[in-house]
Structure 1
Amino acid sequence: MVAGCGNSGGGKTAGNTAGGGAGTAQEIKVAADTTFPPFEMEENGKVTGFDIELINAIAAKENLKVNMQTMDFQGLIPALQTGTIDVAVAGITITPKRAEMVNFSKPYYHSGLSILVKKDSTIKGLADLKGKTVAVKLGTTADLMMSKDKSVKVKRFNNIDDAYNELQNGGAQAVIFDNPVNQNYINTGHNNVKVVGGLLTGEDYGIAVSKKDPELLKKINDGLDKLIASGEYKQLYTKYFKSDESGLIKK
């Protein structure tokens, strides 16, 4: 099973970004999940978001050419293992089990899971979910965590928007998902919901790379280091997360 976020679509090409520097740029096949705003989303037919801009900025530093496509979240790690793609960006939580299957870059975002409920809910934390129905995205760290709790009914969705709709429609009493995405949902016109109980986990997101290409992993890490050192990483972070620096990687 894959990471800590969501995705949609399958195999849709989103465009290329050529890296700078001397010589012919190395083309890399990058797949993203577009149902994980503000990290990945689709706007006016274009794939965009924090992760998308970050991988393109890394490519520019390392003379790489990004061939971007969208892919269902659960298909990302298998695609890396088979060589269908070289890189995956999808707010993927770094875990020991996943690290056995793919390589991960250095962390580029600190995250964690949180509980989203209606504003009039009496749920205050994890202990209050006993006997309740919780909506999660299939294959994410929230799904993995809640699958171990037999006192909770879990509804799984391929798209996090469907999980949010289940909460709004009363089919679930809570959604558990990555906190920045829950916060983004609140901040984009959904003022009838709230996050309760603080972060359930502490997680780091990494860029996933095929184990067959350790040199590419080195380039991605080097590019990320350059962006952090130059301040470009923080500028990009601020563009998407404003003054909330809880996820910021500091050096």
Structure 2
Amino acid sequence: MKKLLLFVVLLFGLTLGLSGCGSSSSGGKTLRVGMDAAYPPFGFQNMETKSYEGFDVDIIKAIAKEEGLEADIHNVNFDGLIPALQSGDLDTAINDITVTEDRKKSVDFTKPYYIAGLGVVVKGDDSTIRSKEDLKGKTLGVTIGSTGEEAARKIDGANVKVYNTLSDAFLDLKQGAVDAVVNDIPTNEYYVAKTADHSVKTAPVALSTEDLAIAVRKGNKDLLARLDDGLAKIKKNGEFAKIYKKWFGKEPPEEIMK
């Protein structure tokens, strides 16, 4: 009887120890991570290997490793990430997600892991868009549910076209269906750098400064603490700076390392 009681106590303790990872299918050892794999350099799918790559992928895998977990990446449309967290289909989401007061009502966020901002991409031969004022009355491409969409809708007279993927928005920009694409500056710069024909360029327009963070279901304090712990560890041991330099070609800013 004593042996049985001891076994039950140990099993209960193990269950509590794993509960910080949410209700993942393997009892907490696998971290189900949501990501819209259409946001390079943060997250995208390698067409040859079919594996997911990017800054966010490397960051969440490094955090998971520090916490003794395995990150299982799931490709989910951006506007479906928060609902998937709320329903329990995902444990966490990392996807160039900006921390906003509205989103804080639905999910909890880790400490920031990137400082971003909203910028604008235009056609390579465009010389008309040089400031926020120049966006008035223009047709602007944005991705659904993004802060880019929020910002674009606040611009006087702007005709906002919403896309499911950023790739579609950029394609329409090249074809002249939109005058500009409003999106996160790092992603914009990555797309422009990868466009060999120089058909697009970044405009000298910065609409905002934003913190990016990792999201978990509202109230999942155990998992939030583990993610923050893992993030702090990779910042301290140099892994974070290594990943940052790999994708952005420079050292991370001091304010994000605190």
Calculate the TM-score normalised by the size of structure 2. Answer: 0.84
Residue 98 of structure 1 is aligned with which of 97, 103, 125? 103
Partner of 2:45: 42
CA distance in 1, matches of 2:118, 2:170: 15
**Shift in Å, 1:197:** 2.9
Partner of 1:130: 136
> Residues 158-177 of structure 1 correspond to what in structure 2 (within 5 A)?
158-177=164-183
Please say if residues 241 and 251 of structure 2, whose CA atoms lie closer than 8 Å, have aligned partners that are also in contact.
no
1:42–1:248: structure 2 CA closer, same or farther, 3 Å change rule?
Answer: farther
CA distance in 2, matches of 1:38, 1:178: 11
CA distance in 2, matches of 1:247, 1:148: 32
Cα shift readout 1:55-111 (whole Å, capped 9, x = no counterpart): 111011111222221111100001111111110011100111101110101000000
Q: Is the counterpart of residue 232 in structure 1 residue 243 in structure 2?
A: no
1:212–1:26: structure 2 CA closer, same or farther, 3 Å change rule?
Answer: farther
Q: Which has the larger helix fraction?
A: 2
> Residues 31-70 of structure 1 correspond to what in structure 2 (within 5 A)?
31-43=34-46, 44=48, 45-70=50-75
Partner of 1:145: 151
Query: Aligned letter for 2:243?
Result: L
Could you list the runs of 5+ residues in structure 2 that have no partner in the other structure?
Answer: 1-26
Partner of 1:27: 30
> Residues 4-19 of structure 1 correspond to what in structure 2 (within 5 A)?
none
> Residues 149-228 of structure 1 correspond to what in structure 2 (within 5 A)?
149-190=155-196, 191-228=198-235
1:101–1:247: structure 2 CA closer, same or farther, 3 Å change rule?
Answer: farther
Please say if residues 114 and 199 of structure 1, whose CA atoms lie closer than 8 Å, have aligned partners that are also in contact.
yes
Q: Could you say what the CA RMSD is over the residues aligned between the two structures, in angstroms?
A: 1.7
**Greater Cα offset, 206-215 or 186-195:** 186-195
Could you list the runs of 5+ residues in structure 1 that have no partner in the other structure?
Answer: 1-23
**Shift in Å, 1:163:** 0.6
CA distance in 2, matches of 1:172, 1:109: 29
Cα shift readout 1:95-147 (whole Å, capped 9, x = no counterpart): 11101110101000000000111232121111011221111111100101112
Cα shift readout 1:175-223 (whole Å, capped 9, x = no counterpart): 1100001000111124232222332100011000112421110000000
1:244–1:129: structure 2 CA closer, same or farther, 3 Å change rule?
Answer: farther
SS at match of 2:84: helix
Partner of 1:89: 94
SS at match of 1:139: coil
Partner of 2:13: none
Larger Rg: 2
> Stretches of 4+ moved more than 4 A in 1?
244-248
CA distance in 1, matches of 2:133, 2:28: 52
1:156–1:199: structure 2 CA closer, same or farther, 3 Å change rule?
Answer: same
**Greater Cα offset, 191-200 or 214-223:** 191-200
Q: Number of paired residues?
A: 228
CA distance in 1, matches of 2:40, 2:88: 26
Query: Aligned letter for 2:238?
Result: G
CA distance in 1, matches of 2:70, 2:192: 35
**Greater Cα offset, 47-56 or 190-199:** 190-199
1:178–1:189: structure 2 CA closer, same or farther, 3 Å change rule?
Answer: same
